Amino acid sequence: MNTTTAQTVSPSPAAAFEAAPPTPVKVAVIVGSNREGRFGPVVAEWLLRRVREHEGFEADVVDLADVDLPTSLSFRPSADVVTELAKVTPKLADADAFIVLTPEYNHSFPASLKNVIDWHRAEWEAKPVGLVSYGGISGGLRAVEHLRQVFAELHMVTVRDTVSFHNAGGLFDDDGNHKDPALADAAAKGMLDQLHWWAWALRSAKEERAYGR
């Protein structure tokens, strides 16, 4: 018997992006490293250029080197801590989506990132996050996979595609330009297309119905 099955062709994230409504997705780009002499700003500048070139995003930056949060959490933070929280909490609350830029420290992500994650809860919930990593030979991929576990606990969606820079220090010239950008540019576009789709989908759904847990 000759049967013909009607095939449904799913649109790619890029095609779905073309059909997306014009309201920009507010994305908070979190620069996760705060170490003295860090390499993070080089990758952050590269990343921010890609986000700003990608249609449909309105980017804000949360640089953890500019925030001094204690590791002891409190429901009654001191005035100093309230001042520090004011640098970051409103940006997280306002965001439809996040991009976390993480280095790899000892096979995971740095304590600075875990700290800012733990200081917040509702700000993360039912939002998507794209992950960009850098490090030595591993390119920060172990940090990325650990972050997926943490963000799942916070009711977040981590987008499938990531961007990773292996032996990152040698990949950029003195002006912060990637020496051989084609693959990284393509990876960034894929991640940003998917992030935009998830942000649009979740934002639209939340307009219809509050997220229930």
Ligand X SMILES: Cc1cc2nc3c(=O)[nH]c(=O)nc-3n(C[C@H](O)[C@H](O)[C@H](O)COP(=O)(O)O)c2cc1C
Q: CA geometry: angle at 56 spanning 34 and 206, to 5°?
A: 85
Q: What is the smallest separation between the CB atom of 166 and ligand X, expressed in angstroms?
A: 8
Note whether 146 and 109 are within 8 A (CB).
yes
Q: Which is nearer to ligand X, 165 or 198 (CB)?
A: 165
Q: Which is nearer to ligand X, 64 or 157 (CB)?
A: 64
Q: What is the smallest separation between the CB atom of 185 and ligand X, expressed in angstroms?
A: 20
Q: What is the smallest separation between the CB atom of 41 and ligand X, expressed in angstroms?
A: 8
| Beta-ladder partners of 134 | 103, 165
Q: Which is nearer to ligand X, 20 or 171 (CB)?
A: 171
Q: Which residues contact 47 (CB under 8 A, 6 or more apart)?
A: 29, 99, 101, 132, 163, 188
Q: Which residues contact 182 (CB under 8 A, 6 or more apart)?
A: none
Q: Which is nearer to ligand X, 14 or 141 (CB)?
A: 141
Q: Which residues bind ligand X (CB under 6 A)?
A: 33, 35, 38-40, 103-107, 134-138, 168
Q: What is the smallest separation between the CB atom of 34 and ligand X, expressed in angstroms?
A: 8
